[in-house]
Amino acid sequence: MWYQIFKSKKAFSSAVLFLLISACNSPFTQVKEAAVEPEQAVISEAPQRESTWEQAYGEAQDSQENELGEIAPENEIIPEAQITAEPITDLWQRIRQGYGIEQAQLHNKTQQQLSWFVKHPDYMARVVERARPYLHHIVTEIEQRNMPLEIALLPVVESGFQPFAYSHGRAAGLWQFIPGTGKVYGLDQNWWYDGRRDVIESTRAALDYLEKLHRDFGDWQLALAAYNCGEGTVGRAIRRNKKAGKDTDFWSLDLPKETSAYVPKLMAVAHLIKQPDQYNLSLSPIDNAPYLAIVETGSQIDLALAAKLADSTSDEIYKLNPGFNRWATRPAGPHRLVVPLEKAETFKQALAALPAEDRVQWTRHKIKSGESLGVIAQNYKTTTAIIKQANSLSNNKIRAGRHLLIPVASGKASDYSHTVSQRLASKQNSPRKGTKKTHTVRAGDTWWDLANAYKVNVNKLASWNGKAPGDTLQLGQKLVIWTKGKTTSSKNVRTVNYKIRNGDSLWKISQKFNVSIAQVREWNGLSDRTLLKPGQNLTLYVDVTQQHGSI
């Protein structure tokens, strides 16, 4: 009996299993687009045989079709339009995302520069604070040109983001333009104004120049090198390497020492900004929002007055407009002023309510007997050209008893802390090591003979006085000199005009007059390849107390 029951159950199980297998092989689930049901459709069903489903499960299959949503493959790229990116609030992150100069791995020279920056976090902190007012504008200008945002960090290398920086090579401003290159790229330089320090204009010029260099060399690192030492120097280095069968990338070129460190410095700064946490650098955030606004003034304006109208300070106005040398904007224009964005509307409204004739203060000067335009201009700290322009004078002739209108500053000297004269006074009065002396420039004085006389470095001497060795000295100009121990009086330095003779060399001449070969070259603009010719004249500045014979 048990055997029969077992046998019948076994047969039943086999039948069910067969039906299930058949059902699995039958496409009972269909995946297709949902059909639109016609309104009031009448469906008449004909008698049908039991389906495999009914045979297996004992009930009719659900007539509702399955509707499966599309499943995105694992590696499918979702269109950008469907991604809602979080806004970038930190300007540093925006800069990182805009990097475009390839740097697969850090070069040894970059590592060396990186080590210095890592060891000097205080320096980086100061640079960040100095960059804060300018960086957003620079980043925006670079992005509009589709240039790599590492370039926004170039002022860190050039000037430490100091708008009043001035090098011994006569380079000025955030981007360190020398006078000649500045003029080529449209940066005016005159008594009132120096476009090399104008943040807006110098940024435009620097990017113009860098774009040109990138077109020339087709490589950003070579373009940056040329920005530092000139396209001619880089071009010659490339030609030398090609002739020798060597690579012509930046790292393979034989370039001046300063340039060889220049590009690695920028690469090091970019790497440090990209990964500050890796080097325990606390990088203060900078808002990814405009800081500056450019306001058209329509006429010349006193900068201390402008600060009041903008509810700002003279110090802030000068730092945002470092191109202005004096107490007012330049008379000839263009007439515009950079102010903090948050104060722009206040400034515009106050400016609109102030007539143009009240934006600069004038004084009426009665000409005294014996006075000249030069003396009057010096007394009022202005120029003869400005006085002539203000009074419609065609020449320098003036008569005693008549009056001149002269533009003058409305505020105190302290209200114009960043004019040329105030910056010079601050520099000359800064305490330093050694004994402070004052020298009044006389006819024939040069930076070199004064440096020799006082036994100081010529670059330091010029820097103490806010100048470069290539700047011209003016008669009566007061120079500050910091000395260590005994010095040679400038009265003992004599200018010698030496005519080259047969058999002369720079070494023989330097030994004869107890000067260095480098000094002879510098005094006469000679390169290391210049050939001396008999009869050629050289100018030498010699200390008569150091000579063994007559000169």
| Residues linked to residue 294 through DSSP beta bridges, in sequence order | 338
234 with 242: CB under 8 angstroms?
no
Quote the CA–CA distance of 152 and 155 in Å, as a whole number.
Answer: 7
Q: 3-state DSSP call for residue 193?
A: strand
Backbone φ and ψ for 291, nearest 5 degrees, come out as -110, -30
- Greatest Cα-to-Cα distance within the chain, rounded to the nearest angstrom: 151
Nearest Cα neighbor of 525 from 444, 460, 470 is 470
Quote the CA–CA distance of 287 and 284 in Å, as a whole number.
Answer: 10
Quote the CA–CA distance of 344 and 338 in Å, as a whole number.
Answer: 9
Quote the CA–CA distance of 479 and 464 in Å, as a whole number.
Answer: 8
The verdict on whether 158 is a catalytic residue reads yes
- DSSP calls for 390-456: HTT-SSS---TT-EEEEEE-SS-GGGGTTSHHHHHHHHHTS--SSEEEEEE--TT--HHHHHHHHT-
- Which residues contact residue 269 at a Cβ distance below 8 angstroms, ignoring those fewer than 6 apart? 117, 153, 156, 157
Pairing status of strand 336-340 against strand 403-408: unpaired
The catalytic residue among 158, 201, 231, 296 is: 158
Please count the other Cβ atoms lying within 10 Å of the Cβ belonging to residue 374. 12
Please count the other Cβ atoms lying within 10 Å of the Cβ belonging to residue 239. 11
Give the dihedral of Cα atoms 422, 424, 429, 430; nearest 10 deg.
Answer: 110
Element at 362 (helix H, strand E): strand 361-366
Quote the CA–CA distance of 61 and 389 in Å, as a whole number.
Answer: 102
Kindly list the catalytic residues: 158
